């Protein structure tokens, strides 16, 4: 099955807290359906949880393109004045059916051609992808520009670049990339980890991260973040890693 709405919250129990989010076109394996809820496993990263039945479709589809803008709109016709377009987030997976002058006709509707990218052409710079989300509100478990958390931002950025990135910061710290010696100067795209938090280096001295302190995706000098997080009880930096 696949997600047929813009963003669906994968819940720990029916109507329970959000664990992660899946965007339009995300593929899942469905194991059980009961009283309006489906117990599913995300094919992207193996995350399991519950989705409302109405957020899923069993229609066979093949992904050809992804949304490469922060967000886009899918119209019922190739007309920017068409009513009630469907909002779609970065990373949404679409099947292109036909190509028009300014739009692709997709399984979700007519989408501006400049907002889509072939799914077999990954981005090359995860930090650039993460920077698209500057200012997005912080949301625990979020994976879209409508709301995102630290590990969701990292997973979106690195997955868009063709890397298999785990969904949670503890797994990212344990399983993703190579740990750097303490005296290594960070590169753009390296990751800084705290217990329960992760941030992306945009250069050797500045981070970009989704954080509850500012309740948004923000830039912050690494040294300032290190001192602030320690002062607020978040502990020391536990590692810096270089994804590869």
- For 194-221, the pLDDT digits (tens) are 999 999 999 999 999 999 999 999 999 9
Cα dihedral sign, 156-131-115-109: positive
**CATH 3.40.50.920 is right for the domain spanning 126-242:** no
The pLDDT of residue 240 is 97
pLDDT of 60 higher than 80: no
Q: Which segments of the chain belong to CATH 3.90.1720.10?
A: 126-242
**CATH 2.10.25.10 is right for the domain spanning 2-57:** no
Give pLDDT tens digits for 132-189: 999 999 999 999 999 999 999 999 999 999 999 999 999 999 999 999 998 999 999 9
The confidence band for 244, taking pLDDT boundaries of 50, 70 and 90, is confident
The pLDDT of residue 190 is 98
Distance CA 244, CA 238 (A): 19
237 alpha-carbon distance from chain centroid = 23
The pLDDT of residue 182 is 86
The confidence band for 193, taking pLDDT boundaries of 50, 70 and 90, is very high
Q: Which segments of the chain belong to CATH 2.30.30.40?
A: 2-57
Q: What is the mean pLDDT of the chain?
A: 97
Backbone φ and ψ of 93, nearest 5°: -105, 125
Query: Are the CB atoms for 17 and 37 separated by under 8 Å?
Result: no
- How many residues belong to the chain? 244
Query: Are the CB atoms for 36 and 55 separated by under 8 Å?
Result: no
Give pLDDT tens digits for 85-138: 999 999 999 999 999 999 999 999 999 999 999 999 999 999 999 999 999 999
Sheet holding 93-94, edge to edge: 93-94, 65-67, 116-118
Backbone φ and ψ of 186, nearest 5°: -65, 150
Beta carbons within 10 angstroms of residue 228's beta carbon: 14
Beta carbons within 10 angstroms of residue 102's beta carbon: 11
What are the CA-CA distances from residue 120 to residues 60, 67, 117, 155, 244 (Å)? 19, 13, 8, 18, 19
For the residues of 145-211, what is the DSSP string, one character each?
A: TTEE-HHHHHHHHHHTTT----SSHHHHHHHSSEEPPTTPPPPTT-EEEETTEEEEESSSSEEEEEE
Distance CA 154, CA 21 (A): 14
**CATH 3.90.550 is right for the domain spanning 65-118:** no
pTM comes to 0.96
């Amino acid at each position: 099955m696949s997600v047929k709405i813009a963003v669906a919250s994968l819940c720990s129990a029916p109507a329970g807290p959000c664990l992660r989010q899946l965007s339009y076109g995300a593929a899942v394996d469905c194991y059980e359906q009961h009283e309006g809820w489906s117990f599913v496993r995300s094919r992207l990263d193996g995350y399991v949880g519950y989705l409302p039945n109405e957020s899923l479709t069993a229609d066979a589809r093949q992904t050809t393109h992804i949304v490469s803008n922060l967000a886009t709109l899918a119209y019922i016709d190739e007309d920017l004045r068409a009513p009630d377009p469907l909002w779609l987030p970065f990373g949404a997976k679409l099947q292109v059916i036909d190509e028009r002058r300014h739009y692709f006709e997709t399984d979700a509707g007519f989408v501006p051609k400049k907002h889509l990218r072939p799914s077999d052409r990954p981005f090359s710079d995860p930090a650039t992808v993460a920077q698209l989300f500057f200012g997005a509100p912080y949301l625990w478990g979020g994976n879209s520009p409508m709301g995102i958390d630290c590990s969701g931002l990292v997973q979106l950025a690195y997955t868009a670049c063709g890397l298999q990135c785990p969904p949670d910061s503890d797994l990212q710290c344990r399983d993703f990339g190579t740990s750097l010696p303490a005296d290594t100067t960070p590169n753009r795209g390296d990751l800084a980890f705290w217990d329960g938090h992760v941030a992306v280096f945009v250069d050797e001295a500045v981070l970009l991260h989704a954080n509850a302190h500012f309740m948004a995706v923000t830039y912050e000098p690494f040294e300032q973040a290190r001192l602030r997080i320690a002062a607020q009880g978040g502990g020391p930096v536990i590692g810096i890693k270089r994804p590869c």
